[in-house]
Structure 1
């Protein structure tokens, strides 16, 4: 357990120390996100914060590896962990290139699927799908497309929700913490190390990214966190022939999954590209209803905590259902607060 704490604290410390330096560098080099009619910020913002998140995670994992935290892993687990780590590096580089040079959407997507296929080849793969009351089914040749869609889809889902100060970092941090506890309970300590490092990096970044944000993570940070969360779901959770093994990552990541899926389906229904920028995401709708940025983000945090606690309860963690009941009470209060804030005066 001490290795997990080392990973969390090391990632958090590196991000806290490195982010101000990255911000200064971005301002000097002009690597900023300019405001426009669709975006919420009203001044140029450095969008290279993902560099510090990425560096924090890599430093943390290297420290743990050097200290023997990954010693004694079965060979297939070692391939999986390295697959997620190196895949995260590749997704980060794709996002960083987009932050610096603005790549075409189709080019990014092709590169992401290519990386996902390579990662699948080294062992990060969804092999089975479990249907309630019917049991598990080996995916066979469908494993590659399903795994690739999961990895690429989650990377883009986290990127799509990165539209309000602190939203993507907070949601990713909460999801990583939920995955950490479930992975430990399912006796997947190496995957839990990845989750601990990611949680530390994400929560450390909130020091500078929560409203009012001083820096954005950019596509590099969002792709890295989204891919890593998806990878942890594959190597740490989706391994058993149980319904819970399949549902756990889906429940923990339900908020970005449902939000992104709904927006993409609406765009396709209107004949638009799924990558068309608009204001249809949940955070946009809450802002349009009258909530502040902070209230919007905290409400979505509460939703993420609720589905994460539900996953922990369903997984059978000690006290898991108690956490779920507590999160349910918190969500009820949050819903009441939102309802009161969006009501027209006099109603």
Structure 2
């Protein structure tokens, strides 16, 4: 099975952005050209995504050690921070927005590297990572437009096209895999879109959006790391502790497991739409809740 499908995801995203650029340049919702800083952010995220893709591609081809991968990822994330992809605020419960100052660098690096690996870790079943990333990118597109963040919206739109176009050939039974190159690219780009489009604003709900939209891979990775450490295992050693593994062990089929996790992703995304103030956002959230309830019922029927 070919594991270089990440090439098509990256090229699909890049070509989408280039077509818009060649058609007259990047514009906002009012038809006005984006500023130099916003264009710089678009290409900065795209180049950073290329670097993460190449790290994953090298791992696919040469099996890099976990420490080597991590060091390379931290280096690229630090460079991304230097060109403006940085987290300047955090939301503290009962306090509100807090300016993080010099902690911006380590927080940004942890976010970018963590999300790249979170998407990589859920890439364990046909179509799972591509579908979750595509859904998350579509939600980020809508939320970015709602928050008047055109640069982030453009990247999210291109990324959604790249991921969902690839899903046509990656859904069970898969004809091709994305490999580490594709999953690292998807994870980094989603995290970076969240930073330049939402976290940079000073609205509490906006700062929370990326963490809500990407809650499924974030919580899966966090739970797995804590479980491994609790049992005295290395957090870098692969095992069968992920959500999709547990659902398979419960008796669900591959397709039903993937569809259930899609529903979870769509549900948390619908909550983000509601919190963003999107018209009828609450209706979308209720609809997604119904879909999640239906897939949960189907999952329970098939569980052992």
For the pair 1:56 / 2:28, whether they are aligned, the reply is no
Higher alpha-carbon deviation: 99-108 or 72-81: 72-81
Higher alpha-carbon deviation: 160-169 or 61-70: 61-70
Cα distance between partner residues in 2 of 1:114 and 1:200: 28
Cα distance between partner residues in 2 of 1:198 and 1:111: 23
How far residue 247 of structure 1 moved from its aligned partner, in angstroms, is: 1.1
For the pair 1:65 / 2:26, whether they are aligned, the reply is no
Question: For residues 267-291 of structure 1, what are the alpha-carbon distances to aligned partners after superposition, in whole Å with 9 as ceiling and x for unaligned?
Answer: 1222222111111100001111111
Superposition pairs of residues 57-206 of structure 1, within 5 angstroms: 57-70=13-26, 72-206=33-167
174, 187, 212: which one aligns with 1:213: 174
How far residue 125 of structure 1 moved from its aligned partner, in angstroms, is: 0.4
Cα distance between partner residues in 2 of 1:61 and 1:252: 23
> Superposition RMSD on alpha carbons, in Å?
1.1
Question: For residues 315-334 of structure 1, what are the alpha-carbon distances to aligned partners after superposition, in whole Å with 9 as ceiling and x for unaligned?
Answer: 11011110000000111111
Cα distance between partner residues in 1 of 2:145 and 2:65: 39
Question: For residues 118-143 of structure 1, what are the alpha-carbon distances to aligned partners after superposition, in whole Å with 9 as ceiling and x for unaligned?
Answer: 00000000011123442321111000
Partner of 1:319: 280
How far residue 77 of structure 1 moved from its aligned partner, in angstroms, is: 2.0
Higher alpha-carbon deviation: 220-229 or 238-247: 238-247
Q: Which has the larger radius of gyration?
A: 1
Cα distance between partner residues in 2 of 1:78 and 1:274: 37
Secondary structure of the residue aligned to 2:98 is strand
Conservation of the 8 A alpha-carbon contact between 1:83 and 1:119: yes
Cα distance between partner residues in 2 of 1:92 and 1:229: 13
Partner of 2:30: none
Partner of 1:302: 263
Conservation of the 8 A alpha-carbon contact between 2:132 and 2:262: yes
Cα distance between partner residues in 2 of 1:134 and 1:168: 35
Conservation of the 8 A alpha-carbon contact between 1:57 and 1:198: yes
How far residue 242 of structure 1 moved from its aligned partner, in angstroms, is: 2.1
Partner of 2:247: 286
How far residue 73 of structure 1 moved from its aligned partner, in angstroms, is: 2.1
Report the number of matched residues.
299
Unmatched 5+ stretches in structure 2: 28-32
